[in-house]
Amino acid sequence: MYIPENHPRRESLLIREKIVEGFKRGIVVPEGLIAHGRGECFDYLIGEKTQYFAEEATRAAAAALLLAKHPVISVNGNTAALVPEHVVRLAEEIGGYIEVNLFYRTREREEAIASWLKKHGAKEVLGVGDDASATIPELFSERRRVSPRGILIADVVLVPLEDGDRTEALRKIGKTVIAIDLNPLSRTARAANITIVDNIVRAMPNLVEKVRELKRKTKEELKEIVEGYDNNKILAEALRFIKNRLDELARSKLTLF
Ligand code: PTJ
């Protein structure tokens, strides 16, 4: 798909192409295309840039991942299509596991996602086939199936682009959940301990960068960052930012040129 260099929406269209390519490869489900469109809408509202509320959440997420004894990155179709290399890099930096966990689970997709991640450097990918033999209690979607070496025993789980049910179920069994979700109103965003309200294509590279930077800190300093973080405050900041931005835009003259 050719997108002219000077197209004003080039970045956004290129990201769309990645999702479409993922769909053609059997990684993304049709519902994933719809979810992406919802994300694009919220990205518009935050100005398609990483805002201060996402930066603060990213800092807390990096500290929580560095403090974790058994961190796991949960990967679905959209995440694998958009940021496979950053998933691999983050797992390396935190010494964590990568686990495929799908809402629309099929064996073919599990394998397609795992081999796509391996193509991008992953040494091991959990949650494929018989490896997803454990279950999360009180969860009835296919997301309940997890790896006994991964999410089941994880203390911190990163869940980009989730559905709300599983975040709540993971919280109930004592996990610290970090979400990446452009919608500050989603159940996932509200149920997580730390929510990065940003596009995953910006949030994941930022998170890798922050983890590298915070590695120099002591455990006590990292704990201070996590304990001083307030997710309700961050979600409120995101909503206030959107409201103020829309107010400003409504006051300014909307012109094409
Ligand atoms: O691959 P599967 O089978 O696990 O299915 C994945 C999808 C995404 C289809 C499934 O988890 C789903 O239906 O998710 P939801 O309930 O539509 O939620 C997706 C959330 O991600 C929504 O709140 C979107 O606003 C948000 N979102 C979409 N694209 C992005 C995003 N957040 C960050 N970055 C994005 N690029």
Q: Which of 25, 14, 42, 56 is nearest to 237 (CA)?
A: 56
Residues 132-146 as b/e (b if ≥16 CB within 10 A, e otherwise) read bebebeebeeebbbb
Domain membership flag for residue 22: no
Q: Is residue 84 one of the residues assigned to a domain?
A: yes
Asked whether residue 117 is domain-assigned, the answer is yes
DSSP annotation of 7 reads -
Residue 139 forms part of a structural domain: yes
Residue 256: CB atoms within 10 Å: 3
**Residue 232 domain-assigned?**
yes
Whether 193 is in the pocket of ligand 1, judged by its Cβ within 6 Å, is no
Would residue 87 count as lying in a domain?
yes
Measured in Å, residue 93 CA sits from the centre of ligand 1 at 25
In whole numbers, what is the pLDDT of the chain averaged over residues? 94
pLDDT in tens, 182-237: 999 999 999 999 999 999 999 999 999 999 999 999 999 999 999 999 999 999 99
Q: Note every long-range contact of 149-152, with CB atoms under 8 Å and residues 24 or more positions apart, other chains counting.
A: 149/97, 150/72, 150/97, 150/99, 150/126, 151/72, 151/74, 151/99, 151/101, 151/127, 151/175
- pLDDT (0 to 100) of residue 86: 98
Rounded CA separation 63/93 (Å)? 12
- Our answer on whether the CB atom of 22 is closer than 6 Å to any ligand 1 atom is no
What's the pLDDT score for residue 2? 72
pLDDT score for 254: 67
Give the three-state DSSP class for 87. Answer: helix
pTM: 0.95
CA Rg, the chain, in Å? Answer: 18
- What's the 188 CA to ligand 1 centre distance in angstroms? 10
Check if the beta carbon of residue 142 is closer than 8 Å to that of residue 103.
yes
pLDDT in the model for residue 158: 98
Q: Residue whose CA is closest, atom 23 of ligand 1?
A: 183
**Any domain includes 249:** no
Does a structural domain hold residue 165? yes
| pLDDT value, residue 92 | 98
Note whether 187 and 154 are within 8 A (CB): no
* All residues at 6 or more sequence positions from 133 whose CB lies less than 8 Å from its CB, including other chains: 145, 147, 148
The pLDDT of residue 247 is 93
- Report the pLDDT value the prediction gives residue 91, as an integer from 0 to 100: 98
Q: Which residues in the chain land under pLDDT 70?
A: 254-257
Structure tokens at 201: 């294509």
CATH number of the domain residue 62 falls in: 3.40.50.12640
Residue 31's H or E segment, with its range, is helix 30-45
pLDDT for the residue 125: 98
Q: Which atom of ligand 1 is nearest to the CA of 163?
A: 16
Q: Which domain holds residue 180?
A: 52-240
Which atom, in ligand 1's list, is nearest to the CA of 189? 23
Taking CA atoms, 21 is separated from 37, 51, 123, 218, 237, in Å, by 15, 28, 23, 42, 34
Number of domains comprising the chain: 1
Which residue's CA is minimally distant from atom 4 of ligand 1?
Answer: 102
